[in-house]
Amino acid sequence: MDMELQKFKEFKENYIFKQKEIIEKDGILYCDDIALVDEEGKELGDCEKWINVGYKLKGPYAKIFSNLFPYEFDFRGKHLHSIESFFQGIKFKNIEMQNIVFNYYGLDSNYVKATSDYDWKKTGILYWQGEPIDRYSKEYDDLVDELYISAIQNPLYRSALKNCTRDIIHVMGAEEKSETVFTRYEFEKQLNCLKDFLKNEV
């Protein structure tokens, strides 16, 4: 995995990513001139041009690319039950509680943040096994790259990304780093970069 991580980092360094623009017309959001809602007014998860990631959205691809999906994988000696469990777990200073969060997936991992009395947004500091990490640092970005390379060791997640031929968007994601541990831009760039990194794999 170390070699693949290095190759991915080199690939990402030269990767040109242009985030798709979301435009509002008459109260409806559009991407590539396609409405983000269907005829019934429900938010659309995929179309012929893009996949809009969201665990509860209409369309199978929207669900399987969500960090909430229960892909299990090993990361730095820990067995995670979803990518989301990492992003929620690093909000805990306490190692024991963080390890418990790693056992959750889906919305359950998201809800457990209510059990923490630590607000990372006030300091910008997150934690990996008791070690502080600055949200705005290269160290944090490197940790996330390592996370996703670990995640694609799960053959189902790897195959889903490798077989994806459309652009991946995530309209519901927050925009500012101060508000989230993974912004809409970071998420979209990471997944699009991963799928393009894997697409030539035999």
pLDDT in tens, 105-148: 877 767 777 777 889 999 999 999 999 999 999 999 999 999 99
Q: What is the pTM of this model?
A: 0.93
Structural domains in the chain, sorted by start: 2-198 (1.10.357)
DSSP category for residue 118: -
Separation CA 66–CA 55 (nearest Å) = 6
With a cut of 70, which residues of the chain have pLDDT below it? 109, 202
Q: What is the pLDDT of residue 104?
A: 86
State the Cα–Cα distance between residues 196 and 15, nearest whole angstrom: 9
CA dihedral sign of residues 97, 140, 64, 157:
negative
Q: What per-residue confidence (pLDDT) applies to 202?
A: 64
Among residues 95, 96, 93, 72, which one has the least CA distance to residue 82? 72
